[in-house]
Structure 1
Amino acid sequence: MKLHSALLALTLTAPLVCAEEKVVGGPFVVNATNRGATVGWVVETGEVRVNAVRSVPVLASRHISMMGLKAGETVKYSLPNGAEGSFKVPATGAASFQAVVFGDTRTRHDLHRKIIEAITKVSPDFVAHTGDLVTDGYDTEQWPRFFEIEKPMLEKTAFYPALGNHERNSRHFYDFFAVTTPYYSFDWGLAHFTVINTDLGNVALSATAKEAFWAEQNRWMEDDLAKSQKAEFRFIIMHHPPFTAVKSRQAGNQAVVALLPLWEKYRVTATFAGHDHNYQHHLKNGIHHIVTGGGGAPLYPVDAPIEGTTQKVESTEHYVRLMVEPGKAKIQAVALDGRILDTFDLAAAPAAK
């Protein structure tokens, strides 16, 4: 594969990396499509004293848009401060690819770091995060640690995050990852990915506003899925799962459960969620539902498998590999110790005419 290198000229398209701006996150690549991508990094611009006894950093995001890229090729880039990275431009057509999906990295940072080390060795074409990147999305002390731990992975691949409840709908999520809404979609090869926000608790204060957001997102999602019917595979990425084998959590997913008929109508292949800190595989009406919440947060017991729906569960740290090629795909859950927790094949949906 031919390698393209791009030196990002910040003086032309973005604020300078100033001496007083300490880079505390990145670089990383978001919003990657087969035509362009956004390179981002996070800087500390100062600090604020709290109660005269503690200082907290003030963070800001910096972004560069890269356009005119070639689908399927690898791009290397560098920033004027010496930071370097690379990523693969999303492929089009009948191209094989490998992705990793994982989530809930908010605590137990030693395990979070080991998960990132394991994912980096796999060399995925891109990575998706199912949310709860940090414990409190408003806490500016937590984001630099997240980026420091994930740096070996983020500097080598495109990143597609979903909003979790622990991000608390913070502006930092939107600023850092250059998204204007908590829902978006992208294509890679013959697969379509739809990322949605299932965190109604933080999206708005009033019940009316929450309902309005949910209705707006669902209208967008139906339109997005309707337009994706020529794809062989369709995947949903979100934080809250429709099904869970954690007994104490089973009453809390009804809003997501209500989306099942829509996903069935538009032939969704599988969904990926987090929120529950373990691995779960459920199968309902032809759709596989994966819970991948083993990125470092405290583990939850899987004590209530759903008869006729639950396929596999294990409470352990892990990540999920998604391997797609023309006509078929495979999902494989991998434990931190390298054990294969689960593996199964996915059939391609006949392309809509």
Structure 2
Amino acid sequence: MSSTPNTQTSQTPPSSSPHNNKQLTPHHCSLEISIAANNNIKETLPLPQSSSNINHDQTTTPLLTSIPSTKTTLNQQLVHLFRLTTLRSCRKLKRILSLMILFSILAFALFLLTWPILHPRVTLFTFKFRNYLHNEGYLGCSLRKQPILFMVDTDRLLAVWESNCILNNVKLRWYLSSNDNSKKNIKDTEENNDNKSERNLYGGGISETILDSTHNVYKTTIGPVPASGTYTYEITYSPIDDGNEILLARYSFSFFLPSTHLSLQFPGNQTDIHSNKPATDTLSQSINYPIRILAISDNQFGLSIFNHLLDGVVKRHPPPNFIIHAGDAVQDYDRLQQWQTDFYDPLTHYHLAQNAPLIYAHGNHDFDPSLEYPYTSSQLWHAFTIANTRWIVLDSNMDDVLQDKWLLSELQSRESREAMFRVVVVHIPPFIEFWDPDTWHNKGEKHWGEFVRLRFVPLFQEFGVDLVISGHQHNYQRGNLNGITYTIIGGAGGELDYQRVEDWHIYDTVQKTYHYVTIEIWDRMLKWVAYNIDGLVIDKFDLQK
């Protein structure tokens, strides 16, 4: 007996694809397409078998009708593949962006943490790079040194600035800011093209000193100012003679005349001014106390320290009305770069000496043997009054009997006798205690400025000087001798002095640290506070009358 062939085949197991749970019949086979990166997601695509193996049983007809859907299913798989690929790329991009954001946040945080260290170095680099550009002629005609003001008399200032070119038709205007609507309040200094001399209403002028092709120094006097108040000054020039002026600088400063000072008239009547007769059109002499003063000395070659110190000053204190500098503004007087980057640039960067006139005493490092002093006042010794305080500036470089005679005359003057306080500023202190032992004992440096102690101190005592401010020694000291307070403030940047060479037994306070001092003048009191470079108080006292 013949057996009947078995046409039934074993069933294909169900597909594991989560997208297709149907079982396929024997008339179909499976094509599995892996479309996921981890091969965990698979799709089953039904395809027809070869014609020789197809059973034409009627039961297969419904399945055969599903064959045309293969193209649609393939398109769906391709779309799904594209979506997964895109999703995978997006996830990778998100991870990259997240890492970039995290890195940016960390970099910014690191920048904030290191900025106190980086900022001074960036600033110093800017000073030196700008100076290089001026020297090499890469910058157009402009000011390389903004104007700095120096006190020269009770009602007069000296303005000093420098350009990298010769300024044609240069002018300086100044006027009382609170009453600047009236043209009569404006005073000019103008350049005369024929003889390079400039005249203002009072016969002053702008002097020009050409040091080299990129260093042209200009000086002129502002004043006499007629009253206490805030003044604005402007510097302009005209490249061509067409009447159009280019503004180079504009700043303001405050002046505090003594109550006994003659209130002067604004331009329009020179006779009243020069004959010392009371002017008919006067301004108020009221003073708003306190008058704020910043006191520093001996920054020399310590540009980084000096810059750090000034940065702290402007952040912690109100703007000063005046600045005392007790000498040694640079290390080497004849180095033009040092005057630019180590002195003018820091004072300009922090908007100090353009708005606060300097009370300046020449030191041994910034002493000019020719006595020309192109960058500072050339006055060797002088005196002036600010409100109720008489300031006497001496020159410890000049052992000259003429200075002795002048000092005696000044201390006997009415201005000195009637002042509430008498303050002396001289670079070399009368009583030095810290220095380099070798140069002090073996190289004669103990005798520098010795005449200040031997000849000037007796005059200080006789005529009631209240305070003596000095530099030279690079640390801080304060003491008292015969009713006179002696201070040393040489801590603005020069290398500190640690070794004792003398002991005068007059100093109560010694601080071997970089520092600065703030002084407040009140109507009957002088307040003194000394700070280290980090802003911590290291000494303070009051003088009262």
TM range, smaller chain = 0.7 to 0.9
CA offset digits 1:63-92 (Å, max 9, x no partner): 233335343311122322432222111332
Name the CA shift for 1:168/1:33 in 2 (closer, same or farther; >3 Å).
closer
Say if 2:250 is the partner of 1:59: no
Following superposition, the deviation at residue 218 of structure 1 comes to 1.1
Structure 2 distance, partners of 1:241, 1:300, is 14
Structure 2 counterpart of 1:89, from 222, 245, 255: 255
- TM-score under structure 1 length normalisation: 0.80
Which residue identity lines up with residue 297 of structure 2 in the other structure? G
Asked which structure has the greater RCO (Cα within 8 Å, sep 6+), the reply is 1
Report % sequence identity. Answer: 22
What pairs up with 1:1-353 in 2 under 5 angstroms?
22-31=142-151, 33-45=153-165, 59-80=215-236, 81-93=247-259, 95=287, 96=289, 97-120=291-314, 121-145=317-341, 146-151=343-348, 152-170=351-369, 174-179=373-378, 181-200=379-398, 210=399, 214-227=400-413, 228-246=416-434, 248=437, 251-252=446-447, 254-258=450-454, 259-301=456-498, 303=500, 306=503, 308-348=505-545
Over 3 Å counting, the alpha-carbon distance change for 1:235 and 1:302 in structure 2 is farther
Question: Does the 8 A contact of 1:299 with 1:316 survive in 2?
Answer: yes
Deviation at 1:270, TM superposition (A): 0.7
Q: Give the Cα separation in 1 of the matches to 2:361 and 2:539.
A: 23
Structure 1: which 5+ residue stretches go unaligned? 1-18, 47-55, 201-209, 349-353
Read off the aligned partner of 1:196 and give its amino acid letter: L
Residue identity in the other structure for 1:71: A
Structure 2 equivalent of residue 5 of structure 1: none
SS in 1 for 2:365: helix
CA distance in 2, matches of 1:122, 1:104: 23
Contact kept in structure 1, 2:325 and 2:360, CA below 8 Å: yes
1:304–1:339 distance in 2 versus 1, CA, 3 Å: farther
User: Relative to total residues, which structure has the larger helix share, 1 or 2?
Assistant: 2
| Offset, 1:113 | 1.0
The answer to whether the 8 Å contact 1:34/1:70 transfers is no
Q: Secondary structure at the match of 2:488?
A: strand
- Distance in 1 (alpha carbons) for counterparts of 2:383 and 2:511: 29
CA displacement at 1:20 relative to structure 2: 6.7
Distance change >3 Å, CA 256–CA 68, structure 1 → 2: closer
Q: Write out per-residue CA displacement over residues 321-348 of structure 1, whole angstroms, 9 at most, x where no aligned residue.
A: 2212122212111111111111111133
- CA displacement 1:249-282 (0-9 Å, x = unmatched): 5933532211211100110001010001111112
CA offsets, 1:109-131, max 9 Å, x none?
A: 11111222233443111011000
Provide the alpha-carbon RMSD of the alignment: 2.6
1:183 and 1:275 map into 2 onto residues whose CA distance is 17
Q: How many equivalent residue pairs? A: 309
Tell me if structure 2 keeps the 8 A contact 1:162–1:238: yes
Rate the CA distance shift 1:90–1:64 in 2: closer, same or farther, 3 A. same
Q: Distance in 2 between matches of 1:34 and 1:241?
A: 25
- The one-character-per-residue Cα deviations of 1:35-70 (angstroms, maximum 9, x if unpaired) are 343322123459xxxxxxxxx876332123333534
Partner Cα separation in structure 2 for residue 160 and residue 219 of structure 1: 22
- Cα pair distance change 1:59/1:72, threshold 3 Å: same
Bigger proportion of residues as strand: 1
Q: CA deviation at 1:300?
A: 1.0
TM-score (ref. length: structure 2):
0.53
The answer (yes or no) to whether the contact 2:427–2:471 under 8 Å persists in 1 is yes
Q: What per-residue deviation string (whole Å, max 9, x for no partner) do you get for residues 150-172 of structure 1? A: 11211221112111000132558
Q: Which has the larger radius of gyration?
A: 2
CA separation of 1:23 and 1:334: change in aligned 2, threshold 3 A: same
